[in-house]
Structure 1
Amino acid sequence: MAFKTPLADKIRPQELDQVVGQPELLKPGQPLRQIIDQHVNIPLLLWGPPGTGKTTLAKIIAKQYNYPFESFNASTDNKAKLTEQINLHPYDSFVLLIDEIHRMTKTLQDFLLPYLENGHIMLIGSTTENPIMSIVPAIRSRSQIFEFKSLSESDIIIMLQRAVDEVYQLDKEQIEPEALKLIAISADGDLRIGLNTLETLHAIEPNKLTVDNVKKFAQQQHFNYDKKATKHYDYLAAYSDSMAGSDTDAALYYLTILLKNDDLPSVVRRLREIPYTYIGLANPQQVTQIVVAANQAEKVGMPKAKYPLMFATMLMCISPKSGSFDEAWELLDEDTKHPNEHPMPRGLRDMHYKHSEEITGGGLIDSPFQSPKQIAKQNYMPKGLEGKRYYYPKDNANEKKLGDQYLKLHKYIYEQDYKK
């Protein structure tokens, strides 16, 4: 008995002009589109949420370049399979799609590098993780990186309508108004979810598609969120806001929902970022502990990852908070809009080129390491901003201590208090 071809494969675009979404990448004249149109053989790293067209684009590139296509999963496949794929094409360049490339071992990456260098393999790496954070420099430095965005509801509706017309051949009388729109909303930017939902509903009721059936089915899927189905981002926001608000129980509840719905990567990303935003100088040691726990969770994966993530979440909630970085940034953002209006002291300019001292005065500033207490009493601020203050410590024990030192250093360097 032959396997049934999924709807997502039946309706998969075969040409660039059939692809929906990603206009900032694939419209004529855009960098990625130019690479494809000119058949440039260069490794590509495509990152973004699932169901946004990364695999589809890799297959279209292979077709347009007239290259053989091979697929490799970095989570489950091994060196033997990679070697076999290379040996299948001993004299020809071919497209190699590596899914979940952020999980590729260093050994495999090293093995792959010579084939990337000589153009034998046109690598297309697909990942939901930011390559800047998750791909080792050896691969990253040889690749062009492009970010894929979640699809809009209108993008998904186009593909759903195409499936209804070309695969299921339903007419307008068999489809209730708004039914496709509700499927697109519940897909939340992931075309694969939308097509899978349509496929299931058609299997249940082949001759009609009703709003009521879509609602009943959608309520049993994903997170059981509200009709608008901004589920993924709503729960992430609730998780972050609960930690900012120091509500441990609420944060653990939202964490559990996210993990039960396989969103470990988003949780890890949040826990790498928000400790610096919400805690910062109020408790630097716990910031480090939280980030270490998040990294450990990523290494061990689910289900064991829940323990370091619960640990990190509780530390986030229980720790004293500080919003001093955001406040400082607002002040800095305003003063740096027109940096040419505030020239820096000449002595701070670069001195690592010939005649820099004569041209700009670079390097003529006093060395702090040859001064008493290794602190030079001289102006570092740009013209017009002398004595400007950006950091205002919050009311917690650690920042009070750091704040006192901050004020003492300013007074020592400039021999006066901050301007009022």
Structure 2
Amino acid sequence: MDAPLAYRMRPTDIQDIVGQDHLVGNGKIIWRMVKAKKLSSMILYGPPGIGKTSIASAIAGSTHYAFRKLNAATDKKKDLEIVVEEAKMSGTVILLLDEVHRLDQPKQDFLLPHLESGRIVLIGATTENPYINIHPAIRSRSQIFELYPLKPEEILEAVQRALTDKEKGYGDRKVSLEEEALTHLSRATDGDVRSALNALEIAVESTDPDEDGVIRINLEILEECLQRKALTHDKDGDAHYDVISALQKSIRGSDVNASLHYLARLVIAGELEVACRRLLVTAYEDIGLGNPAGVERAVTAIQAARQLGLPEARIPLANAAVELALSPKSNTAYRSLDAAIKDIHGGKEIQIPDSIRDAHYSGAAKLNRGQGYKYPHDYPQAYVDQQYLPDGLLSSEYFHPKNTSAFEESLAKQYNYLNKLDQNK
């Protein structure tokens, strides 16, 4: 029996990994380790299906070290002993240990000296937060890397590879995916490339070719294989963006029922990552200083949703959407920054005053750097009037607080109080 498509498409070279560019992109940390063949044990954590096993496999393939895979929960100490014996006989072995957070004390005690000797390069994979759920002894001997759900365009790249690869994928068969089906496949798997490839495999293997020998996969077939409905059947996907826009505008408009409706449409379509990103930007863009604690809670809820995956992810997302919709609204902070950016782009004189420039190096005094600077903590209320803005911007005021919430009102009072102190001098 042929291995599953997702298994066959697993990369054997670091250059072939899709996504996780912050770790395996050219010049990034894992890429550098592989290039130098100076590997250290590591913990890879993040949601399922986003590349933990692929990275381990690619590291082994790129370095030509032996690669073995075990599960900390189900495999026994005896299985670890076999891997260690192999390392003693043939040299370094890369061990991918799935569910590493479930490694018990006897297995851990056996493994630790071999990690220290370098015979075993441990790549621990987990969906749990390693700072909380992995024993400090393993943690201290490993570098910890967080992986993120793949972006739709990265899922698309992996699917296209599977369709064109003649040895491992479907390149030797006539497979045609309608554009709508391809778009849905790239969006509806929550950044999980394994789920996307599994759905593609089911679609291809369960669809009869037409009279021309072409396996034609449309949106309806993909929806069945994914068991998730697409937001729209229109070719341009306008409704996809309409729902995202409507979600943010409903929260901004404080309509909690509409907010939940549009969030529900994203959840039903399996658009977890889209929902998370939109709630995140809405929290900072539209609530901001209106309810800073609520913004923090929204960030925590989004992190929990990404960790849980659907369907459970809908629970923290619902909490976030309700609180954001019913929170006081404020766009003061980012609008203030935009005003400052506009002045910089406008070509105004922006040389930093000498008194607050860096003065830690020898010769700074000769350049008048840091001369005349007044240390605020040496003054009553830790405040002293001195120039911070460049000369060309002395009259500029970017921060214009609104009394939309108790928090922003408190900032406004402090801002006005400090302005009065300046004016009285």
Taking structure 2 as the reference length, the TM-score comes to: 0.69
In the alignment, is the contact (CA less than 8 A) between 2:231 and 2:266 conserved in 1?
Answer: no
The counterpart of 1:186, out of the listed 184, 187, 209, is: 184
Cα distance change on mapping 1:61 and 1:400 into 2, 3 Å = closer
The counterpart of 2:63, out of the listed 62, 65, 88, is: 65
In the alignment, is the contact (CA less than 8 A) between 2:47 and 2:309 conserved in 1?
Answer: no
Shift of 1:217: 0.9
* Mapping of residues 149-160 of structure 1, within 5 Å: 149=151, 150-151=153-154, 153=156, 156-160=159-163
The counterpart of 1:224, out of the listed 222, 226, 230, is: 230
* 2:394 equivalent to 1:391: no
Q: Residue in 1 aligned with 2:206? A: 204
Shift of 1:259: 5.2
In the alignment, is the contact (CA less than 8 A) between 1:275 and 1:287 conserved in 2?
Answer: yes
Q: Residue in 2 aligned with 1:328? A: 336
In the alignment, is the contact (CA less than 8 A) between 1:183 and 1:214 conserved in 2?
Answer: yes
Q: What is the letter of the counterpart of residue 378 of structure 1?
A: Q
The whole-number CA distance in structure 2 between the counterparts of 1:388 and 1:120 is 62
Cα distance change on mapping 1:20 and 1:346 into 2, 3 Å = closer
Q: Residue in 2 aligned with 1:411? A: 420
The whole-number CA distance in structure 1 between the counterparts of 2:47 and 2:343 is 36
* 2:254 equivalent to 1:246: yes
Q: What is the letter of the counterpart of residue 67 of structure 2?
A: F
Cα distance change on mapping 1:118 and 1:388 into 2, 3 Å = farther
The whole-number CA distance in structure 2 between the counterparts of 1:82 and 1:339 is 67
In the alignment, is the contact (CA less than 8 A) between 2:42 and 2:124 conserved in 1?
Answer: yes
SS in 2 for 1:392: coil
The counterpart of 1:40, out of the listed 35, 38, 41, is: 38
* Mapping of residues 4-403 of structure 1, within 5 Å: 5-15=3-13, 33=31, 35-43=33-41, 53-71=51-69, 77-78=72-73, 85=80, 88-89=83-84, 91=88, 92-97=91-96, 119-124=118-123, 142=143, 149=151, 150-151=153-154, 153=156, 156-162=159-165, 172=174, 175=175, 178-179=176-177, 183-188=181-186, 191-208=193-210, 213-220=217-224, 221=226, 222-227=228-233, 239-256=247-264, 274-291=282-299, 309-335=317-343, 342-350=350-358, 360-362=368-370, 364-394=372-402, 396-398=404-406, 399-403=408-412
Q: What is the letter of the counterpart of residue 403 of structure 1?
A: A
In the alignment, is the contact (CA less than 8 A) between 2:18 and 2:157 conserved in 1?
Answer: no
Cα distance change on mapping 1:251 and 1:62 into 2, 3 Å = same
The whole-number CA distance in structure 2 between the counterparts of 1:388 and 1:5 is 66
The whole-number CA distance in structure 2 between the counterparts of 1:400 and 1:6 is 59
SS in 1 for 2:96: strand
Shift of 1:409: 1.0
Q: Which whole-Å deviations, capped at 9, do the CAs of 1:273-315 have from their partners, x for residues lacking one? A: 6433321222334445545666777899987775554333211
Taking structure 1 as the reference length, the TM-score comes to: 0.69
Could you tell which deviates more after superposition, 338-347 or 63-72? 338-347
The CA RMSD measured in Å over matched residues stands at 5.3
Cα distance change on mapping 1:20 and 1:396 into 2, 3 Å = closer
The whole-number CA distance in structure 1 between the counterparts of 2:240 and 2:131 is 23
Could you tell which deviates more after superposition, 86-95 or 226-235? 226-235
The whole-number CA distance in structure 2 between the counterparts of 1:230 and 1:136 is 48
Task: Give the total of aligned pairs.
Answer: 404
Cα distance change on mapping 1:335 and 1:35 into 2, 3 Å = farther
The whole-number CA distance in structure 1 between the counterparts of 2:330 and 2:105 is 42
Q: Structure 1: 5+ residue runs without aligned partners? A: none
Q: What is the letter of the counterpart of residue 332 of structure 2?
A: S
Cα distance change on mapping 1:162 and 1:268 into 2, 3 Å = closer
In the alignment, is the contact (CA less than 8 A) between 1:242 and 1:250 conserved in 2?
Answer: yes
Q: Which whole-Å deviations, capped at 9, do the CAs of 1:370-389 have from their partners, x for residues lacking one? A: 43444212222233222321
Cα distance change on mapping 1:211 and 1:326 into 2, 3 Å = farther
The whole-number CA distance in structure 1 between the counterparts of 2:419 and 2:133 is 39
In the alignment, is the contact (CA less than 8 A) between 2:203 and 2:222 conserved in 1?
Answer: no
Shift of 1:54: 4.8
Q: Which whole-Å deviations, capped at 9, do the CAs of 1:385-414 have from their partners, x for residues lacking one? A: 223211122352433453243133123135
The whole-number CA distance in structure 1 between the counterparts of 2:79 and 2:382 is 62
The whole-number CA distance in structure 2 between the counterparts of 1:226 and 1:303 is 20
Cα distance change on mapping 1:219 and 1:282 into 2, 3 Å = same
The whole-number CA distance in structure 2 between the counterparts of 1:20 and 1:295 is 22
Shift of 1:319: 1.1
The whole-number CA distance in structure 2 between the counterparts of 1:393 and 1:377 is 21
Shift of 1:115: 6.3
Q: Which whole-Å deviations, capped at 9, do the CAs of 1:54-76 have from their partners, x for residues lacking one? A: 53342132133232324466xxx
Cα distance change on mapping 1:402 and 1:126 into 2, 3 Å = same
SS in 2 for 1:342: coil
In the alignment, is the contact (CA less than 8 A) between 1:366 and 1:376 conserved in 2?
Answer: yes
Shift of 1:316: 0.5
Cα distance change on mapping 1:290 and 1:41 into 2, 3 Å = closer
In the alignment, is the contact (CA less than 8 A) between 1:131 and 1:145 conserved in 2?
Answer: no
Cα distance change on mapping 1:196 and 1:305 into 2, 3 Å = closer
